[in-house]
Structures are given as C-alpha cells and as structure tokens.
Amino acid sequence: MRIFSALYAKAMVWAAHRHAPWYLGGLSFAESSFFPIPPDVMLAPMSLARTDRAWWYAALTTITSVLGGLFGYLIGMLAIDAVLPLINDAGYGARYEQVIEWFEIWGIWIIFIAGFSPIPYKLFTIAAGASAMALLPFALASLVGRGGRFFLVAGLMRWGGAPMEKILRTYVDRLGWLVIILGVAYLLITR
C-alpha cells in the first residue's frame, strides 16, 4: 500500500508554499507548549525542498520553539492544576512524572537532553514552569538543546539535497510502514 508516497508528495508541495515558514513557526511554537506534532515533519521537507534556506528554517524553528517553550513554562507556572488532568487524559501522566524526577536529578541539564528526547518537549516546558526552574537558564538551555536538534535536521537535509530527496521518494512507503511497526512494537513493549 503506497499511502506515504502521496503524503510525501503533498508535504513537498506544502514545503515550497510561500506561507510555509509561517506554518513552520506556528507549529514549532505550538509543539513546545501544547501540540503533539513535532516541527521536524515540516522542517525536514522544507529544508530538502529549499536547501539554500535550510539554515534559515532551522533558526526560525529554534526561535519559535523557544518562544513556545516559554509559553509552556508559563502554563506550568500559572495553570499546572488545570493542565494536569489534560496531561493524564492524553496518556502522558507517567512521562510527566518521569520528567519531574529528571528535573530533581539533573536540574537544568535535562533541558539540553530534552531537545533530542522522544518524550514530548511540552512536558519539559510545563514541568519547568511548575517546578519554578530559573527562567533565564531554562531559556538558554532550550535555545541550545532545541537549536542543536533543528540545525542537525536542517543540516542533514541540506547535505543530502537532491540525492537524499530521490532516495526518500523511492523508499518513503517502506520507511513509513517501518516507523508505524516500530511505534506499535514500542507501545506493546512498554505497556
């Protein structure tokens, strides 16, 4: 079944759209505070479609992600009691508790790691606000951690360029199904 080929083709069209940077910025902001889809799903195809703009896209994603992280921090600081039921209902309760434990063990250093973690970044931003982590170190760690991730993604796409786009187009269906299979296996193993 070749569903991912059509999705990939559509993503590449959207990536070249004149408003795509606005969408990327909005997605990056939202993902750091409340939205479940990571900005990599837009950053990678946009960087691939316009390799000459890859670094700009990475910078935009980083800045808007950090701003969204500050919004997540504010949510945690001002509304954690109202948000905790939503976190639990979304199935992130145990992960949120794990993030709180990590803050107690590693403090601000966990924010650097959070940029690359499979645990949604919004949990880290909300937990940072809820635990009253110092704001400036939080913002700087977010900038370095998220920036490292997004510049890595953009750099790989820029480096791969047209040859990588051709490979992705050829194997996107196999890769898509592999990711779904691995995701389901992960869920089955961890439950």
CB-based burial of residue 191 (10 Å sphere; 0-12 exposed, 13-18 middle, 19+ buried)?
A: exposed
Q: What is the pTM of this model?
A: 0.80
pLDDT band at 175 (very low <50, low <70, confident <90, very high): confident
Who's near 111: CB < 8 A, 6+ residues apart? 124, 128, 138, 141, 142, 145
Give 51-103 pLDDT, tens digit per residue: 999 999 999 999 999 999 999 999 999 999 999 999 999 888 998 998 889 88
Which carries the bigger pLDDT value, residue 127 or residue 179? 127
Nearest to 65 by CA among 40, 82, 44: 40
Nearest to 120 by CA among 16, 39, 46, 60: 39
- Measured in residues, the chain has a length of 191
Nearest to 123 by CA among 25, 22, 23, 36: 36
Decide if 32 contacts 122 (C-beta within 8 A): yes
Taking the C-alpha atoms of residue 47 and residue 162, their distance in angstroms, rounded to an integer, is 11
How crowded is residue 129: how many other Cβ atoms within 10 Å of its Cβ? 25
pLDDT attached to residue 50? 87
Nearest to 73 by CA among 133, 148, 9, 160: 133
161: amino acid identity, one letter: G
Taking the C-alpha atoms of residue 114 and residue 157, their distance in angstroms, rounded to an integer, is 22
Taking the C-alpha atoms of residue 183 and residue 78, their distance in angstroms, rounded to an integer, is 34
Give 98-154 pLDDT, tens digit per residue: 888 988 888 888 898 888 776 789 999 999 999 999 999 999 999 999 999 999 989
Q: Which two tokens stand for residue 170?
A: 């050829």
83: amino acid identity, one letter: V
